Structure 1
Amino acid sequence: MIDFRYHIVSLISVFLALAVGIALGAGPLKETIGDTLTGQVEQLRAEKEDLRAQLDAAGTDEAAAEAFVAASADRLLAGSLADRRVALVLLDEVPEEQVTALTERLRRAGASVPATVRLTDAWTDPGLRTYRQALAGTLVSYLDAAPPADAGTQTELADALVQGLTGADASAPDQVSENAATLVELLSSGDNPLLELAGEVTGPADAVVVVAGPPAEPAEPSPTAGAEAPGPDAALAVLDAAQRISEGAVLADGPRTPESLTAAVMGDGERSERLTTVSRTDDVTGQVVVPLALAARIAGENGHYGYGDDLEPLPPAVQLPPVDRTPVSPGEAAGEGTTDGGGADAGAEGQG
């Protein structure tokens, strides 16, 4: 049995060790420990200052690069989209300053922007699936070129959207056709509008820029969403339709991540060959590239632009032919197709 003397000896040992530590720390080892700690603090302080200097230098370099691109934009863009009309389709909430910057870059390239529209949550809300199916059935009757019967609701809606934005009156090419106006009206009205208009649609578009918003935060699984939770399919259907029905289309995306729409396009071998993407259009470099990429796509050059693996920094230089908006009489229009340059891709195009 452990007696009281054992506890006394244990306590004496503890206090003795403490006393020795204090004596050494305050005596022979004082300078060594102090110097070591001081040296480590000074090293950490120096590393911090060095990292701060590197960060400041990187920020200065980036600001200088952006300033150079912004200053060079007019020279790079001048005439690249002369007299083209380009609609902006926002897939979700896109910062207003980004939309303004893209619009300004397109205008400096010589284009006009007759329509800017945004897809609302109703476009993919699982609870409105039946409503969208019924609406799509109505929209199809106004399409100049209806998709196959088995194309699916998302493709029918996407075709209606793009034809609504690009449909021109053959006898007055600067005005939207009656069917096109009806399509936009049906999509943007009712208790659950699928489309939100940023101002009046002032004319038909020749080409389309599809703009993706900032990367979304991962959502918590919903017990009611089931298998119909929104994914990239609806956005890809819009991009498919924009390329197939208009003269040409470009995806203006944010940073390229595994979850980005650019990754979805480039991960699909068939789509990657015919759909053009531009990454990082949330900064000035990407915004300047968008009009150049659109001009290249109208000219038949497809690519994926940005910085990173499998991305090109700049589209090839192209010279687009002048726009022909010669009015066509009703009799002549009846024997002609309604789609423009993008229609060449229709035979090879899959549905999203």
Structure 2
Amino acid sequence: MINFRYHVVSMTAVFLALAIGLVVGTAALNGPAADALEDNVNALRKTNSQLRDQVTGLRDQANREEQFVTEAAPIMLAGKLTNRRVVLVTLPSARDHVPAVATMLKTAGSKIVGTVDLQDKFFNPDNSAELLDLASNAEPATVPTSAIPTNSDGVETASALLAAVLLDRSPTVPNPDRQAVLTAFNKLGYLNFDATISGPAEAVVIVSGSPYTDSQAAGKNASVVTTAVQFDHAGIAVVAGVLGGEGNLMLEVRDDATLAKTISTVDNADTAQGQVATSLAVYEQISDNKAGHYGVGTNATALLPQEAK
């Protein structure tokens, strides 16, 4: 019969075996296995430190390159756009790099006649009917009826009207009419603009950013393209944009064989290099009547217009 003493002896034997196993295992780990593990940890620590140093070096290099371009810009852009009149049309996602784009245009000698900041409301498909009514009521007699599409697309009609008053046309739209149109759109929250737009422009730089991604993204992104098309119909147009995102204006232009022939694009306008390229793209359009596609994207033809190299 198995008694209590047997259980005690059995349990003691089990715990003794566990203790011996722990001692033997610890001894083994304190030998070659422990040394190998420590070597691996030290190697990973050194690799991580090297990678961190490389990242820091690349960041410093990028900053230096940006500084180099900024310092070289006055030489590269000198006299390219002297007294050329440019209007900036900005999209909601691109406001952060608008000042730098404007600075480079001024460095090239251009006269920024004003900035028109389009609001999200302008591209919302739900506002098409209101935009149609607004454009119809705001259209001055000095804008030829041939300049305005006759359809039910509010963004297309409104964009055509804005392009007609902001860019050079024959006959020229008087300043009071230009201000009246912009004020009408501003009062209903469709855009903001400089207190005074000094006159019509020879070229428009559309400063764009990332595309819309909300539930109405497809319609809004299509409306952004429609706006660019209407400005292109009215005069010289350059899209200063960024890479990435389905519906991206810059990519939509490049992927359209027709638009790519008349609208210039820059895909890194959030950098000094892209801002220089934007100014040179405007110069190329004015001087050579040529559209180009510049930047670091796979579908860019060069970093800068050839004449600038």
- CA shift for structure 1 position 115: 0.9
Distance 2:13 2:52 in 1: 49
- CA shift for structure 1 position 154: 1.7
Distance 1:271 1:201 in 2: 28
Letter of the structure 2 residue corresponding to residue 193 of structure 1: G
Pairing 1:186–2:184 present:
yes
Distance 2:62 2:298 in 1: 20
**Structure 1 residue aligned with 2:243, among 252, 255, 259?**
255
Letter of the structure 1 residue corresponding to residue 69 of structure 2: V
Distance 1:17 1:199 in 2: 89
Distance 1:81 1:114 in 2: 13
Distance 2:228 2:307 in 1: 23
- CA shift for structure 1 position 39: 1.0
Letter of the structure 2 residue corresponding to residue 239 of structure 1: A
Distance 2:207 2:262 in 1: 17
| Offset from partner CA, 1:127-158 (integer Å, 9 cap, x none) | 43331121133245643233342373221111
Unaligned runs of 5+ in 1: 319-352
Shift of the 33–204 alpha-carbon distance from structure 1 to 2, 3 Å rule, reads same
3-state DSSP class of the match of 2:204? strand
Higher relative contact order (CA 8 A, sep 6+): 1
Pairing 1:276–2:264 present:
yes
Shift of the 158–16 alpha-carbon distance from structure 1 to 2, 3 Å rule, reads farther
- Aligned-pair RMSD on alpha carbons? 3.0
TM-score by length of 1: 0.76
Counterpart mapping for 1:124-163 below 5 A: 124-140=123-139, 142=141, 143-144=143-144, 145-150=146-151, 152-163=153-164
Q: Is the 8 A contact 1:161 1:187 kept in 2?
A: no
TM-score by length of 2: 0.85
Q: Is the 8 A contact 1:166 1:180 kept in 2?
A: no
Question: Counterpart of 2:199?
Answer: 203
| Offset from partner CA, 1:270-322 (integer Å, 9 cap, x none) | 2222221101111111111111011112222111110131212111328xxxx
- CA shift for structure 1 position 178: 4.3
Shift of the 51–215 alpha-carbon distance from structure 1 to 2, 3 Å rule, reads farther
Q: Is the 8 A contact 1:232 1:261 kept in 2?
A: yes
Pairing 1:265–2:265 present:
no
3-state DSSP class of the match of 1:64? helix
Shift of the 125–231 alpha-carbon distance from structure 1 to 2, 3 Å rule, reads closer
Q: Is the 8 A contact 2:84 2:110 kept in 1?
A: yes
Counterpart mapping for 1:1-40 below 5 A: 15=15, 18-40=18-40
Counterpart mapping for 1:79-94 below 5 A: 79-94=79-94
Q: Is the 8 A contact 1:83 1:111 kept in 2?
A: yes
Q: Is the 8 A contact 2:150 2:157 kept in 1?
A: no
Pairing 1:121–2:111 present:
no
Question: Counterpart of 1:315?
Answer: 305
- CA shift for structure 1 position 32: 2.1
Q: Is the 8 A contact 1:232 1:264 kept in 2?
A: no
Q: Select between 236-245 and 309-318 the one with higher mean Cα deviation.
A: 309-318
| Offset from partner CA, 1:38-97 (integer Å, 9 cap, x none) | 11210111111110111122112212211211111011111111211100001114344x
3-state DSSP class of the match of 2:103? helix
Unaligned runs of 5+ in 2: none
Counterpart mapping for 1:192-341 below 5 A: 192-214=188-210, 218-219=213-214, 221=215, 230-246=219-235, 248-298=236-286, 299-311=288-300, 312-317=302-307
